[in-house]
Structure 1
Amino acid sequence: MIGRADQLALIQRALTADAEGHLPIAVLSGPGGYGKTTLATEAAHRMRADYPDGQLYAHLSGSQLPPASAGDVLARFLTFIGISEMPATVDAKAEVFRAAVAGKRLLIVLDDAATTAQVVPLLPGEPGCAVIVTSRNPMPGLGGGHIMLGPLDQDEAGELIRNRVGVDRNGTPGVLKRLIKLCGGMPLALDLACARLATHRHWDLPYLVGRLADIDQRLSVLSVDGRDVRTCFELGYQLLSPGGRALMRAIGNLGVGETSAWTAAALADSTVGEVTPLLDELAAAHLLTVTGT
């Protein structure tokens, strides 16, 4: 895995720290396309020796509507660990699951969670187990270690590009820096840009950067074999409230890199007090980044 060494260490620390008998949990949050799933599975792979009774994985479809139900996920877990008689209710399934894993050392990865309420029934009661949760939402209701993923830094992004395409291709340090900036340090965007180079041998880095610099082409360039950056933003946008969507459109149409609460209030024909919860909603969805107060 390229980069994220500090975050891997934080996950390991969260899952191995003495929590006085409490279940160790690591929560990875951040925007779509920033490598939460990759990081969680890499951490689980590296720590598998610490959990000899195995690992359980569930995709909770939190960035889709509707997300997976806790009852369905518990049914899959129970089937996997050999429970044939399936209880009817979510609470009953959770009780059977916790009883079945008592005394075991399992690592459970709950990927793309929607809410804390969706996650809680899936948690074992055994402190010898551990859980990694990934979500676009911060999940403040869950205990444990909280790790928010941001963009790759310059060195990490450069390493990713070198790993994918070997570089050169007439790429000066300035061109590489421009490529990383145009991709926002987003791992998915950088990976797709490199895929374009790998499959378009007649392209060089300056040409790719030129295509990305055109705002009307950027999202089309960052789309390869069904993987694209546009989907990450669409999924986040669809989960917003109607007011959040309207404010996001207004800020986007303004065409500026930064905005203030006062400006957002004017765009929404509202007051700062009324627009602040919407700004908080956009920040929680990682469609805005708070740069100051």
Structure 2
Amino acid sequence: MFTAPEPPVRDRMLSARDHDCALLGLTGTAGGEVWGYAGRTLSAAVATPTTPAWLRLVSEPHGKGTGKLWEGPKEAERSMPPTVPRPRLLGLRDWSADGCDYRAELYEYVTTTPVSESPVIRRGMDLPDTWWHSLHRSLDRIATVPTDRVAVREQYIRRRVPEFTNIIPGQITWTTAHGDLHWANLTGPQLTLLDWEGWGTAPTGYDAANLYLHSLHVPDLAERVRKEFAHVLGTPAGLIGELTACTEILQAAARVPFYADLADHVRQHVDQLRALASTPDRTAQPQPPLPRRHGGPHSNT
């Protein structure tokens, strides 16, 4: 989803990946690496002695290999119902080297490809009705999963949403969410939900809002998302979820090029949300403009 990091990080991650493949008896495929933000993760297809698989390598500075993102995939494997289509986690391995903590996650191989190579889609996609029905069922099932994991912190919403949207959030309705629902994390034409490190509680409508915002370069697709999730998008119930998703993208735009390209569309959408926030049954209130600060992609800070 992201470009390869600077050579020192790239070489370190590739070396760690090769080390893990040797220990686990995996054969790496040439090329095809998928990089996370700033080289934090590296994923690629591999082959076990009996079957193809997918290896995802995560790194953090030594002593930082803990917390929500680190444990998300393992906890999703334990908590998510099997009816939610996702790659099953076959095993994981932790180790430390070169001043970093590493976790290697081995998944079953998914034969269907992501709808888009980038989180922000730029071309039309004709997905069958069965795909949309499967997405609805999956999000409904995720919403029922009890968890103490947090995808978006209330402190972040209270602090950053007014800063980037000039709207003060009111009462928040919470649900369990995938937490990173965009087109690079959804496969088609058969649906699989990828990347479970950030799942947890989030405002109602947050997942649907993320999918909508990542569709804004393709108006027909954006309109389809809006229609599919009309029960939350553009409603008072989903307003804070939409504002939160907008805030994260606007905050990330300073560092992530594809969010910088999307930012004007998102600001236009925020202008539309202000009208909703001004209705009598609003769950957020406009406020005078505040100066903006910038952070990393979906930093939740």
User: What TM-score results when the alignment is normalised by the length of structure 1?
Assistant: 0.27
Q: Which has the higher contact order (CA 8 A, sep 6+)?
A: 1
Point out the structure with the larger strand share. 2
The structure with the greater share of residues assigned to helix is: 1
Radius of gyration: which is bigger? 1
Q: State the TM-score, normalizing by the size of structure 2.
A: 0.26
